[in-house]
């Protein structure tokens, strides 16, 4: 589930820097969220094979030379949510993310967004020389993933927190 998001994040870290950029709001009307980004993101969609079948995965990626910010969502079938609790689904997303980048979990904490369960991760991908923070939220049957990563030498937790903290749920159109 996390593989496309993290693979694109790794590629994003090869582009131009964001420190001097003007942040603007990006809205995903279909996704039902908004987030502030330093550059207009590129949107993509893909079908992902999961243990509950094929699901549609939607992502917006804003990238620079030493950083990448991605927001994504995917809808699980209602029956899949009924069989697992929110913690299990969020832990599964965490495990997949770490596995896909050979990542090392440094810290995690349970969070909420407007009463919906979430999980915040701080991790590194030593082989890619990346440090990252992510927030995963389960809103009914929709899994939101908000991820920011930077090269180790450009790591600035303030920028990552700004990005992650700007994520808001919006009405779906």
d(CA 88, CA 111): 14
Q: Once rounded to an integer, what is the mean pLDDT over residues 21-37?
A: 93
117 C-beta neighbours (distance < 10 Å), count = 17
Q: What is the dihedral of CA 67, 102, 124, 169, to 10 degrees?
A: 60
* Chain segment 53-109, per-residue pLDDT in tens: 899 999 999 998 999 999 999 998 988 887 778 888 899 889 988 888 889 999 999
d(CA 113, CA 134): 14
pLDDT, greater one: 17 or 169: 169
75 C-beta neighbours (distance < 10 Å), count = 17
3-169: CATH topology is Protein Transport Mog1p; Chain A (3.40.1000)
Q: Once rounded to an integer, what is the mean pLDDT over residues 164-168?
A: 97
154 C-beta neighbours (distance < 10 Å), count = 16
* Chain segment 95-145, per-residue pLDDT in tens: 988 888 889 999 999 999 999 999 999 999 998 899 999 999 999 999 999
pLDDT confidence band for 21 (50 / 70 / 90): low
Domain boundaries, the chain: 3-169
Q: Is there a contact between 38 and 64 (Cβ–Cβ < 8 Å)?
A: yes
Residue 17 pLDDT > 70: no
Q: What is the pLDDT of residue 44?
A: 96
d(CA 62, CA 70): 6
Q: What is the pLDDT of residue 172?
A: 83
């Amino acid at each position: 589930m996390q593989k496309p998001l993290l693979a694109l994040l790794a590629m994003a870290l090869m582009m131009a820097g964001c420190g001097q950029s003007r942040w603007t709001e990006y809205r995903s009307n279909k996704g039902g969220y908004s987030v502030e980004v330093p550059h207009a993101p590129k949107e993509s969609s893909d079908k992902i094979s999961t243990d509950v079948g094929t699901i549609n995965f939607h992502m917006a990626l804003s990238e620079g030379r030493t950083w990448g910010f991605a927001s994504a969502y995917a809808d699980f079938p209602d029956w899949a949510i009924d069989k697992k609790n929110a913690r299990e689904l969020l832990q599964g997303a965490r495990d997949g993310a770490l596995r896909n980048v050979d990542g090392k979990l440094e810290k995690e904490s349970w969070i909420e967004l407007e009463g919906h369960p979430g999980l915040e991760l701080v991790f590194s991908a030593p082989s890619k020389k990346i440090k990252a923070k992510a927030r995963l939220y389960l809103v009914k049957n929709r899994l939101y993933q908000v991820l920011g990563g930077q090269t180790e030498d450009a790591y600035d937790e303030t920028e990552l927190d700004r990005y992650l903290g700007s994520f808001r749920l919006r009405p779906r159109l």
